[in-house]
Chain A
């Protein structure tokens, strides 16, 4: 049974949280007195030391977002791996979960630092905006602060009690702390998302900026839930990618076969986490985009058909590299088992689909052209390649890429398991049939989108998405039953070429750059508004910077983040290093480290 002193602790913690919420409920449900907003003028924007305010806030915000995504993601998959360890009774899962937590601990304080810096910069450099935001969100900001306190408590207890609460009931108790940690983390994510999305699709205010609704109205604006889902999934994928880089690095610098096997397995797990988080992302992104269009068609078209259109081509390049890298890693993984060679011949077909899909996805359609360019091209879009740039073609490409990525994973999963059930042949036939039906449908729905008006093009993407998800879910279910009691082929962990680990480095680099790019798009959608249609941006930097400027900025912040992550991982290793006591008569240098 649960030990009583722990129950007391949890009761107190929950009581504190409840008290805080109750105390702030009047703020949450009562509306503020409506008075129209006074628009800021150019003079209301302080300039500190001649620095570009936008650059300062952008850098701090982006660092905070990178780190926050990481520290929110790690406890999510750590808890899942810990659970896997309990269910399979294999200690290696628990040890890996513990290791994932250990390498990310230092990141929390840096996240808070970046967040604190961001807050100070925002209040210093954009006081009018922050004044307005505080008036809109009132007590919610205090809840946010309190949640940070609770997060720290949960985090430290979760990590430091790992070995103390190792087995039996104590382990379940430990996992419940993990659940609490994740709930608090999600709360932080959702609150911050409310502020971000309020600036894009404000609710609870009238057109003059008077606050007419409650904090909940402002929180529950049209883009809140789409962003919640998108960031939740993206965080998981991102966290997996970053710890994958750690595993890859340790693999490459491993000195013993055991170490290499351990870090190979860790890299494999990280890649799976990244792919699992990544596969549903396009759908969450699609939902976000659809809600943006629904809220304001202008905003939607600015994003995809207007000045920001090229950014989605860059996004296509980045996601293409991510998918290719993740798949490449899986294909190399086929070499870990003898049975893997059975699937190797199919790799080239998957590669063709992936590369072909990538090329289609990269092809632009609506781009800004000079009159000479229009003349040279013979129209505003290319005669043959143009159609590849519009939505139906892109959707076919994306959905097929996702389906075939899942196929790579499924092949790898099969490469260590030979089915022994009597209906294996029929099961395999069913899986093949599902893939064929699915791919045919994706292509057919795409062609249908071509020959119909715009509104049907958008609508046709829903059957495509449904098909992709169906393929993944149903083939996984069939495999789940078919591979029960399967004959396991030995997986030779560690038997991977060095180049496969570089695929694991591509993932976090591309992901980080992609996140920053998407942030640039999201901010730019507001054009010259702080809060869209409510509070105009009257600062000297109200323009949308060019892609080149943004690209340079993104690269700089990405580099800083990579450096910080290397430092954070190094810290965790440093913590595990122990200098041996030199023996009598030897110098420190002669003694082993």
Chain B
């Protein structure tokens, strides 16, 4: 009899806890979508701003800390134009945006804040005991947030619009989609050979390299003799600077400079410098 009473009593307590847990607001937290977002080729500035706004409270998880609770500056409530100007004018600020003006300054500052939050910490928001030199904010392009470059551009566009300046981020084009494929290549580690780099960055898709036979871009055989190492380097890092005769601008990806590691670039340059005129290589 005692056993029954005790069991009934324990069961009643358990049920009351279970009931309480069930009447509270039920929220299921799903992991962020794995697939890269499909970015329309013709996404314009307004589209970027609106996408950035979605990211701010979505995948970017910015609103977790950037609220009125005092853990991080309340971005949505502040006058960002005045706020950013104040921070850049702070003698403590020694980051990349120093000396820049207007929209450029905002873009540089925002991008820096996203990938290197501790470059400048707003007074009072640093980690306890570090004297505002270390930020508790994680880098948004690293785990766990892992925003891609396009997504960070969208966020920058959103913040630029809220700061009342022009949006100066590059809009996504076909090149950008190619770049995101290169992003996934990044995760596999640096290319060890030039040929590996060609595959990783899609060079053989347009240029006849490693037997690909592609003719979208100029033949690269003997290019070292024609324009020299510096010329090839410029052609890779800033493709629109000089367009080969018979070809069009804005086709080659413009952000290989951000995608490639220095070691990979040097491997490619080494390879192309000695690539014979007829393109064949042992």
Contact = CB atoms under 8 A, between A and B. Distances in A.
B211 interface: no
A368 B67 CA distance: 13
B73 interface: no
24 contacts: A36-B187, A293-B136, A296-B138, A297-B138, A298-B64, A298-B65, A310-B25, A313-B24, A314-B21, A317-B17, A505-B6, A509-B10, A524-B29, A527-B29, A528-B32, A529-B143, A536-B31, A542-B31, A543-B29, A544-B28, A544-B29, A546-B26, A547-B22, A558-B14
A142 to B, nearest CB: 30
Given A297-B136, A529-B144, A533-B143, A307 B71 contact: no
Given A505-B10, A546-B27, A306 B64 contact: yes
Chain A interface extent, by class: 35 or more
A138 interface: no
Interface residues of B, number: 42
Contact of A551 (B22, B30, B64): B22
A453 interface: yes
Cβ-closest 7 pairs across A and B: A551-B21, A528-B31, A533-B143, A454-B70, A297-B136, A546-B26, A544-B29
Nearest to B14: A555
A459 B70 contact: no
B144 A318 contact: no
Given A314-B17, A505-B9, A455 B128 contact: yes
A574 B165 CA distance: 81
A249 B65 contact: no
A588 interface: no
Contacts of B20: 314, 317, 551
Interface in B1-59: 2-3, 6, 9-11, 13-15, 17-18, 20-22, 24-32, 34
B71 A454 contact: yes
B71 A297 contact: yes
B127 interface: yes
B61 interface: yes
B137 interface: yes
Given A207-B142, A551-B17, 13 more contacts: A248-B6, A253-B3, A301-B64, A302-B64, A307-B27, A367-B25, A453-B70, A455-B124, A533-B144, A546-B26, A547-B26, A555-B15, A558-B14
B156 to A, nearest CB: 20
B22 A301 contact: no
A301 to B, nearest CB: 5
Contacts, number: 134
A527 B188 CA distance: 24
B125 to A, nearest CB: 9
B241 interface: no
Interface string A259-288: 000000000000000000000000000000
A548 interface: yes
B14 A559 contact: yes
A450 to B, nearest CB: 12
Contacts of A550: 21
A545 B20 CA distance: 16
A459 B6 contact: no
A241 to B, nearest CB: 12
Contact of B18 (A294, A533, A551): A551
B71 A301 contact: yes
Given A318-B17, A533-B144, A548-B21, A562 B10 contact: yes
Nearest to A310: B24
A292 to B, nearest CB: 12
Contact of A534 (B9, B143, B188): B143
A455 B144 CA distance: 25
B25 A532 contact: no
A555 B18 CA distance: 7
Interface string B176-192: 00000000000111000
A301 B138 CA distance: 13
Contacts of A249: 2-3, 6
A317 B17 CA distance: 9
Given A314-B17, A505-B6, A543 B31 contact: yes
B82 interface: no
B69 interface: yes
Given A298-B61, A301-B64, A505-B6, A307 B29 contact: yes
Given A368-B25, A547-B26, A253 B2 contact: yes
A527 B24 contact: no
A134 interface: no
Interface string A508-550: 0110010000000000100111001110111000111111101
A555 B16 CA distance: 10
A366 B70 CA distance: 13
B64 A532 contact: no
Interface in A480-531: 502, 505-506, 509-510, 513, 524, 527-529
Nearest to A299: B144
A163 interface: no
B134 to A, nearest CB: 10
